[in-house]
């Protein structure tokens, strides 16, 4: 790996005698790590844990994840281990049992958003945003697969969040950066690196922070991270934020065996991940508290308030409410032909987001109304709160499951006119409609597996 000269000079200045070990680590193959969706699965085999994340594990080798139906069922997520340190920031600073309003500003493809969804309470709202619309669709897919039901996926520019002043208790800004920490995983990032790009990234990060700062409550928490090492995009930006806005740095407790390197610049604490020190890629994180007193969540209780979200009619609600567990805990809303379930405690906050931002996906998309007919939707099949007993189910073997995920025709030897919830190892994958002896495959076209299936299929024993 040929590193740019100026980058090597920077890293030598930061690492001193550790620089040769750092160089050597960059020549090694990157590790593969996953985070298990504990609402859907548990680890199937003995795996080494990611020390700072309860549901994070390292794999001995990288399998073909595409050919494991359980990843499509949302049973786990492939996530870089260093970025799972987000868990420590939240657990050490916040009471995660309390209801929170959380923003993941740069959410795609969904690693931190699905992690946040697992950490916060069911009465907390996560707004997961991605400005690029194509990437936002991938984010919505991964959020739906995770199935927590308390997430809104939006696609907005950071400055649009100024329409929600003092709305969020927590903001996670995993800022677009120069990508130095990804050199081992993505050698192409080396060719894109330059001093000019570092400067441009640092300036863009400052603009992003200023655009969204007003949406954070006084006393609220910012978790800022990048996958790069230079000070300009990391400590210097946090020092700048402290000077501009009076934000206070929060110190986290570290375990020595983790190998995380604490740093400090002008009183701002930071946390660095180097591949020769940790089992993971390059990463930086800092936690800041906004000046001012924390405010409790408060939404208008004015019955005359005009809502943007339309509550589903009693007739439509009666048809679908038994499809989720605890149906009385949701507000059932209808947008065009789609009926969704939003946790009742989150309805007013969700409506405020709808009034100000572009929302792609909300809560759990349950059904599509077509005249007097209802079609169950993919979001329902993958929900952690699905009431499976409300449907007929069919268990698929590995080949059948993969053919279903490719949207190929499958036959199960059944007949009738029912909707079938298709499962693999007891985990729902999606819907098929029986038409006599034939099955219509309703797996979403945009989600389908595009690779050809090998002649010999081998099960991936990652989770069970």
First to last CA, the chain: 38
Binding site annotation covers 169? no
pLDDT of residue 63: 94
Sheet strand arrangement including 32-36: 48-49, 56-59, 32-36, 76-78
Decide: helix, strand or coil at residue 79: coil
pLDDT of residue 300: 57
User: Is 173 within 8 Å of 105 (Cβ atoms)?
Assistant: yes
Q: How far is Cα 86 from Cα 129, in angstroms, rounded to an integer?
A: 17
pLDDT of residue 302: 55
Q: Two tokens at 337?
A: 């032909």
pLDDT: which is higher, 100 or 462: 100
pLDDT above 90: residue 303: no
pLDDT of residue 4: 94
pLDDT of residue 299: 60
Binding site annotation covers 157? yes
Task: Dump pLDDT digits (tens) for 425-454.
Answer: 999 999 999 998 899 999 999 999 999 999
pLDDT of residue 265: 97
Q: How far is Cα 21 from Cα 18, in angstroms, rounded to an integer?
A: 5
User: Is 204 within 8 Å of 210 (Cβ atoms)?
Assistant: no
DSSP class of residue 455? S
Q: Active-site residue 227, yes or no?
A: yes
Q: How far is Cα 459 from Cα 57, in angstroms, rounded to an integer?
A: 19
Question: Averaged over 12-36, what is the pLDDT?
Answer: 96
Question: Which residue in the block uniquely carries the two structure tokens 């701002």?
Answer: 268
Residue 106's pLDDT band (cuts 50, 70, 90)? very high
pLDDT of residue 160: 98
Q: Two tokens at 308?
A: 């943007």
- Range with lowest mean pLDDT among 179-193, 284-298, 309-323, 403-417: 284-298
Decide: helix, strand or coil at residue 17: helix
What distances in angstroms separate CA 211 from CA 1, 177, 277, 293, one per listed residue? 37, 17, 35, 21
* Helix and strand numbers, DSSP H then E, in the chain: 13, 22
Nearest C-alpha neighbor of 430 from the set 381, 387, 384, 391: 381
Q: Which helix (H) or strand (E) holds 87?
A: helix 86-93
String of DSSP letters for 216-279: EEEEEEEEEEES---TTTTHHHHHHHHHHH-PEEE-----GGG--EEEEETTEEEEEE-TTTSS
User: Is 127 within 8 Å of 149 (Cβ atoms)?
Assistant: no
Residue 370's pLDDT band (cuts 50, 70, 90)? confident
Task: Dump pLDDT digits (tens) for 214-248.
Answer: 999 999 999 999 999 999 999 999 999 999 999 99
Binding site annotation covers 293? no
pLDDT above 80: residue 96: yes
pLDDT of residue 59: 96
Question: Which residue in the block uniquely carries the two structure tokens 């405690």?
Answer: 345
Strands 248-250, 125-129: pairing is unpaired
Residues 6+ apart with CB under 8 A from 137: 360, 446
pLDDT of residue 45: 84
pLDDT of residue 298: 65
Residue 361's pLDDT band (cuts 50, 70, 90)? very high
Average pLDDT in the chain: 95
For the CA atoms of the chain, what is the radius of gyration?
A: 23
* 3-state DSSP helix/strand/coil % of the chain, to nearest 5: 35, 25, 40
Domains of the chain (ranges plus CATH)? Answer: 86-289 (3.40.50.150), 304-390 (3.10.450.720)
Question: Averaged over 383-400, what is the pLDDT?
Answer: 97
Q: How far is Cα 365 from Cα 380, in angstroms, rounded to an integer?
A: 6
Q: Using CB atoms within 10 A of its CB, is residue 94 exposed (0-12), middle (13-18) or buried (19+)?
A: middle
Question: Averaged over 149-164, what is the pLDDT?
Answer: 98
- Active site residue: 106, 177, 201, 227, which one? 227
């Amino acid at each position: 790996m040929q590193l740019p000269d100026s980058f090597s000079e920077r890293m030598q200045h930061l690492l001193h005698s550790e620089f040769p070990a750092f160089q050597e680590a960059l020549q090694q193959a990157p590790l593969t790590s996953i985070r298990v969706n504990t609402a859907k699965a548990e680890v199937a085999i003995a795996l080494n844990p990611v020390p700072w994340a309860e549901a994070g594990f390292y794999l001995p080798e990288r399998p073909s994840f595409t050919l494991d139906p359980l990843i499509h069922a949302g049973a786990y997520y492939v996530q870089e281990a260093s970025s799972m340190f987000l868990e420590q920031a939240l657990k050490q600073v916040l009471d995660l049992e309390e209801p929170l309003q959380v923003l993941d500003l740069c959410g795609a493809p969904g690693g931190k958003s699905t992690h946040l969804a697992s950490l916060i309470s069911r009465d907390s709202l996560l707004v997961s945003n991605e400005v690029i619309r194509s990437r936002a669709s991938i984010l919505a897919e991964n959020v739906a697969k995770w199935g927590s039901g308390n997430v809104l996926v939006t696609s907005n520019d950071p400055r649009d969040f100024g329409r929600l002043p003092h709305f969020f208790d927590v903001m996670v800004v995993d800022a677009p950066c120069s990508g130095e920490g990804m050199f081992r995983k993505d050698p192409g990032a080396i060719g894109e690196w330059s001093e000019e790009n570092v400067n441009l990234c640092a300036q863009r990060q400052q603009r992003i922070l200023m655009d969204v700062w007003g949406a954070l409550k006084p006393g609220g928490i910012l978790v800022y991270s990048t996958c790069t090492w230079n000070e300009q995009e990391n400590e210097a930006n946090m020092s700048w934020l402290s000077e501009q806005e009076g934000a206070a740095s929060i110190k986290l407790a570290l375990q020595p065996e983790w190998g995380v390197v604490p740093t400090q610049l002008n009183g701002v604490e930071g946390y660095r991940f180097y591949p020769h020190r940790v089992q993971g890629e390059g990463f930086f994180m800092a936690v800041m508290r906004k000046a001012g007193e924390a405010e409790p969540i408060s939404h208008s209780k004015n019955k005359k308030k005009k809502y943007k979200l339309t509550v589903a009619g009693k007739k439509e609600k009666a048809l679908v409410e038994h499809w989720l567990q605890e149906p009385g805990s949701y507000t059932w809303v209808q947008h065009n032909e789609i009926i969704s379930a939003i946790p009742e405690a989150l309805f007013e906050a969700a409506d405020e987001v709808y009034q100000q931002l572009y929302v792609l996906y909300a809560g759990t998309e349950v059904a599509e109304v077509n005249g007097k007919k209802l079609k169950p939707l993919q979001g329902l099949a993958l929900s952690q709160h699905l009431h499976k007993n409300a449907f007929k189910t069919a268990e698929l073997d590995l080949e059948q499951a993969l053919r279903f995920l490719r949207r190929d025709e499958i036959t199960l030897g059944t007949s009738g006119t029912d909707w079938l919830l298709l499962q693999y190892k007891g985990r729902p994958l999606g819907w098929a409609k029986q038409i006599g002896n034939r099955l219509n495959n309703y797996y979403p076209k945009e989600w389908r597996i595009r690779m050809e299936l090998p002649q010999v299929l081998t099960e991936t024993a990652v989770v069970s």
